[in-house]
Chain A
Amino acid sequence: MSDRQADKSIARTLPARDPLLADAAHEWKSAYIHIPFCRRRCPYCDFAIVDESAVRSDHARYAEAVLAEIEMEEGIGRLDAVNVGGGTPSLIDPAHLADMLDALERRFAFAPDVERSLEINPEDWTVERADAWVAAGFDRISIGLQSLDDEVLGDLGRMHRASIIAEVVSEARAAGFRSINVDLIFGHPGEPAASWRSTVDRVMDLDVDHVSTYALTVEAGTELGRSVSDGAPAPDDDVQAERYEHFVAAASSRGIVAYEVSNHARDGHACRYNLSTWAHGEYLGFGLAAHDHRWGIRGRNHRRMDRYVEDIDAGRRPRLGTETLDRRDQERDRLMLGLRLAAGTPMTDTAEAFVRSEAGARFVDAGVIRIEGGRLVLSNPLVADAVAREALSVSASDC
């Protein structure tokens, strides 16, 4: 254990699915900053964002609030990963982002090999901005690509054209980003199988290190949710399963392997912030609706901008609520999350109790889960929730 903790830089070299990497991630500390602004809300999105097609926002004021929040935070030790997400972080002045990274480093310090990741939308891409982001300290970029079919992009409410992506990726590499991710959304009812296959083929030809694949999910209260409840076709689980399996096969043949249900990377490029979340590590969260987890407490910030700013101005943490986890809660969260990792999760007492339970035994018999090298591993990531549901209820009563 101690040598793993001592040498955190192993992440640079280890295979994406290595259990050592997953266990190291459990010890990592990370931070998330939420930049909530979007030009407009995508039809499937239920995140806490500010839709700028309706409201003009004062980015500078928000950036100041985030900096003030960072100053209020006691910290959890040196940070191994930072992720700036949204919303659309590429929408605001890169100088604000630079200030935020600086503030984090000043306040908490960064590990020598810290990962600093930034989410951007392709329509915001310019070489000048890219240089500014690199100069700010970002070494990983995550591009909201979603599809390489303009019709599907339109259905998803995205604003960019597929044709610009190849250039964005090569310019990102030239700008100096160490690691490049693209996000994909699959299984929109209007997306033909051929469109997905073509997107996957072309993504494989891009020079990317990491791909996140998200099955389009219908959330209540979204435009998509309303149209589905009004009778529009919903995404089909079987179709989504086929899409996913097609991607996994194509990507793994190109050396991009799934290390978590939705995340695939070349060796050495597993996202540290991501891994840390799924390995039940500790993280800080700053900004609107940001979440954090440290010292066995999960906290959440206000989802409303006025409340968030009001608390900051009054010198208070902008808390909406917290949830304290006892040891058993911690273990079952670790089990629930860890089942999503390709490396699986350590055989804790909770994992042991689950495997011994009636439901757990059924999954073992059906080959859905297995014990391998002292770890509990999910054989089919597509049924992770079915397993987690049972795992949660078993560990709640039997430990």
Chain B
Amino acid sequence: MTTRIERHHYDVVVIGAGGAGLRAAIEARLAGKKTAIISKSLFGKAHTVMAEGGAAAAMGNVNSRDNWMVHFRDTMRGGKFLNNFRMAELHAKESPSRIWELETYGALFDRTKSGKISQRNFGGHEYPRLAHVGDRTGLELIRTLQQKIVSLQQEDKREHGDYEARIKVFSETTITELLLDGDRVAGAFGYYRESGEFVLFSAPAVVLATGGVGRSYKVTSNSWEYTGDGHALALRAGATLINMEFLQFHPTGMVWPPSVKGILVTESVRGDGGVLKNSEGKRFMFDYVPDLFRRQYAETEEEADRWYTDPDNNRRPPELLPRDEVARAINSEVKAGRGTPAGGVLLDIASRLPAEEIRRRLPSMYHQFKELADVDITKEPMEVGPTCHYVMGGVEVDPDTAAAAGRVQGLFAAGEVSGGMHGSNRLGGNSLSDLLVFGKRAGEHAASYVDGLGRRPQVATPDVEAAVDAALAPLQRDTGESPYALQQDLQAVMGDLVGIIRRRGELEDALVRLGALRERVAKVSAAGGRRYNPGWHLALDLRNMLVVSECTAKAALEREESRGGHTREDFPTMEPTWRRVNLVCSLDGDQVRLERKPLPKLPPELFRLFERAELAKYLTDEELAEFDALAEEAK
């Protein structure tokens, strides 16, 4: 069988067309590089559209006391101090500019009375900070970036007579392999989903912006695209992954009815007055305020209710605790037998706001549930529970350049596929600003990396042949199992054994089962031909899902503490010594290798942004002594 391979030459190839990918592509194109955008879906359909709440940026439009230092502090607190401090710092400093820039691309955010971008409250953020458009901020972001790319193409059309002279979108295209020349990236190999034809991109720089890994879980808010492609591509190219044990389970995904299972109920429902109740009708969140947060959160329902109208003189309701705390509380309630039959709790906004007001504040939420499930959120409470939502872990990157760590060069990563920025837990709203800030940086530095190259790396023909063989293999076997059955088994292992609450025995069991699945996946077979064959596509994605799941399970077993998005029932507390450790995964042959690596140290000027009492909860005595010495010096 002869194989036709279409070949393209680009300076920068961006894999992924969500917010981070598009922002990176814009930057690379603005830097004069010939840029390709690879999208697994149609252009503009990325998972970014699911982000509802908003984009966090300390613009201070609603509360002028807000600034980057407060945002930085909130981000570090949310991530339980495991964040890469430099990423959190850059993110807090640069996100306002990234948001304002979107307005010059045509974005229309909701406004304050004085005509500035309005900002809303969100869990974990001290001040109203999220730029938003109703509850469809992600859609606005994607559409804005998509339209900016179109406008750049229109410029190119005027200048070169061709829309695609310098930036082209390859929609419905999947990359299966990165190709190297020594340790340098030389290109990427993949296939067009529509035709099944192969395509080879020769490019010295690749930006990964492929999003997350949620499809490995049973209950997830993530779309089919979230199969950890970028994570796996990076691993196989010799890069490393960090923090893979930290997965965010959104506390409030719908659990019933099935047509909306996994769909998230935005946290702004709670910000706007929604409360959580168990099956006995008790508003249970007051029982779950950790000591760490006790000072900032209300102790009585009366005080909590006053906060919505008078936030300066009252403490926040406990429903607005960081996501992991809320998820854990719901999990405990359900396990104690106080959940609904479907295994969730009730989120009630219907009895707290007039119907008209709910429809005005949460229009797409209202219309979504009405349409999808015939649930009227203005009349009845929603049934919600923890849902796999976001992976904090990802490709280990240099904070300033977004270049992947490890031995590979010319590989960059931004957005959900990168790790470190959010530490052990991401604050709501920080993902949209994350992908803008680091998407831009990745594009910019990919371009300057290309400028600095003496010789263009070459794709080796045997590598391409190997990639072709690997891609065609599932179609040529007819004895293996169905990819759909394998995916279900993988989701069961991850959902049941590496889910929100973890135990040693279960994690060990999970690793054994993943090992068995690995052999079955190696023999998967897909029926049908190459033309738009979802079975074949899934068969190829399974390999990626599996290796990334192994990383998560291994890291989860290794980290013997509970922190943010990683909860061990057998080690329920946060250990300051573990805060100093990043777990780093790499590939050794086809085996996942796990190493411990020290966390970068917080520099003095950032150290001083925190009170000692707060730091005492996170740091070891040794680190506290250093802090005291610094404080002494400053006097």
The finding on whether chains A and B are genuine partners in a shared complex, rather than unrelated, reads: no
Chain B residues within CB distance 8 Å of chain A: none
